[in-house]
Amino acid sequence: MYKLAHWAQEWLGLHLTPQQSEAFEHYRQELMTWNQRINLTAIRDPEQMLSKHFLDSLSVLRVTGCLSGQRVVDVGTGAGFPGLVLKIACPTVRLTLVESVGKKADFCRHIAETLALENVEVLAARAEEVGQQEGHREAYDWAMARAVARLPILAEYLLPLVRLDGYMLAQKGETAPREAQEAARALQILGGKLEKIESVELPGIAETHHLVVVHKVAATPARYPRRPGMPAKRPLV
């Protein structure tokens, strides 16, 4: 785990304590163990997990800052990326993980419990459902997702969860600029305004990653998100 701590310090200016490094190692070991019986991630090489999961998740901090005390929701979190990684790095984050696949949600709960992470809520639910629930709708400082859906669809999952003057963040690959153009209408309807697209070069990863940041400038109309499946079936483009 020295490599992750070195990368975090050199690339992000983030100092990981020995306890945080130990937590990341435990997380990686549990991920490899669970992955033998549940398909949590296609990446099975321990070194690639460091760069393609942990460091990639930490890259979010380049645009969010330290997130101290902020309320964050990670939609379609899978095995907890980026949400649980950010929680380990920023312990005061108030985190909600949304994952519709029950076994993946169970893994996230297991990690949160075994690492004694406080203020972590795991919802085994669809984003469209959570976005209409009191206590979650327009309640978060940051709503984020990694490799979940194209931006016009993702905007309908995330923006209803963001408070006014909060932010949506999407981790994207090289298609980010084109997807942002495609999402222009969706952002306008849902109350968002594209703030920036930041390119990220990760050590050990050839392709460029992008962080797409959207500012919530107006309330999301009550009809959004639509019922489960509709955002993907009929995107706002």
Domain ranges of the chain: 66-233
Digit-coded pLDDT (tens) for 70-104: 999 999 999 999 999 999 999 999 999 999 999 99
Residue the block writes with tokens 């990690």: 111
**pLDDT mean over 122-135:** 98
Q: pLDDT value at position 52? A: 83
| The overall pTM is greater than 0.75 | yes
Q: Which amino acid is at 169?
A: L
Digit-coded pLDDT (tens) for 52-62: 899 999 999 99
Q: pLDDT value at position 79? A: 95
Which of these ranges, 5-9, 119-123, 195-199, has the smallest mean pLDDT? 5-9
**pLDDT mean over 122-148:** 96
3-state secondary structure 73-110: EEECCCCCCCHHHHHHHCCCCEEEEECCCHHHHHHHHH
Residues contacting residue 166 through CB under 8 Å, at least 6 positions apart: 140, 141, 142, 143, 216
Superfamily (CATH) of domain 66-233: Vaccinia Virus protein VP39 (3.40.50.150)
